Amino acid sequence: MKIVLCVKQVPDTSDIKWTENNTIQREGLESIINPYDVYALESVLRLKNKYDVSITALTMGPAQAADVLRRTLAVGVDSAVLLSDKKFSGADTYATGKTIAKAISEKLSDYDLIVCGQFAVDGDTAQTGPSIANFLDIPQVTYVKEIIDYADGYLTVLRELDDHYEKIKVQLPALICVLKDTFEPVRATINGIIRAQKADIITYGIDDLGMEPADAGLKGSPTYVSRAFRAPQKNAECKFISDIEALVDVLKECGGTDE
């Protein structure tokens, strides 16, 4: 089975900076691997321990996003692909999903399974994974708590909902989005770190994918952030608001409205 693991480098939320288009400035920020993607990574490594599996990690971002890919290589991922181009910057979930789907269909088309984290902590939309599946026209299963089994071209997973679990059997190729779990993720060994540092990471730009600039990045994003701000850090305080005018005044103090 050939797996594409989609991971994301997210900024340290204590040091977020904004671009002139109100998107997150990612270059030069101290960044970490998205926490949900850590569990997606662990899920595919567990599959690799049980079955004949090869894993390609894929991410989109500036050149420094290669650091996240090397972390996956250090714990057992086989190869890594970086989508990096100035024309990809500022992408919303629609443009991101479209770009990643294009990369997979053009460069990794022999995949069986695509695995994503359910959420990204810098956006929290939970839409990138489903968007990739939509563009590739493949089945998807979200809110996956555990991969139970793989046999005869089908993957069996446990899906967590608000008040119950579902056991779902999905035919491959397919995409799944993984939740956090309680287990301790695998740690890299010294030999794994050395191997990761020596590994070649394949990098593709917009021309390599045959995409038009109007379909990627900020230009290809139908949503636009009109305003972004950091909520003031204050001690917790409970206020009882008696009328709408008072509520508007409080919101203005917090920077949440101009009207």
In the predicted model, what is the mean pLDDT of the chain?
A: 87
Q: What is the predicted pLDDT for the residue at 234?
A: 58
Residue 13: pLDDT above 60? no
pLDDT over threshold 60, residue 87:
yes
Q: What class does CATH assign to 2-215?
A: alpha beta
Sketch the domain layout of the chain as residue ranges. 2-215
Answer whether 142's CB lies under 8 Å from 107's CB.
no
CB 69 within 8 A of CB 59: yes
* pLDDT score of 255: 61
Per-residue pLDDT tens digits for 185-204: 888 999 999 999 999 999 99
Percentage with pLDDT > 90 across the chain: 67
Prior bond to 35 cis, omega within 30? Answer: no
**Per the confidence metrics, is the pTM higher than 0.85?**
no
pLDDT average, residue stretch 217-223:
90
Mean pLDDT of 79-102: 95
Alpha helices in the chain, H assignment, sequence order: 35-50, 66-74, 93-107, 128-136, 190-198, 244-253
**pLDDT in the model for residue 209:** 97
pLDDT at 44: 96
Give the tokens for residue 66: 């290669």
Which of residues 10 and 237 earns the better pLDDT score? Answer: 10
Q: Which has the minimum average pLDDT: 29-43, 178-192, 216-230, 243-257?
A: 243-257
- Whether 175 and 133 have beta carbons less than 8 Å apart is answered as yes
Q: Which of 52-66, 98-112, 113-127 has the lowest mean pLDDT?
A: 113-127
| 5 neighbors 72 (Cβ within 8 angstroms) | yes
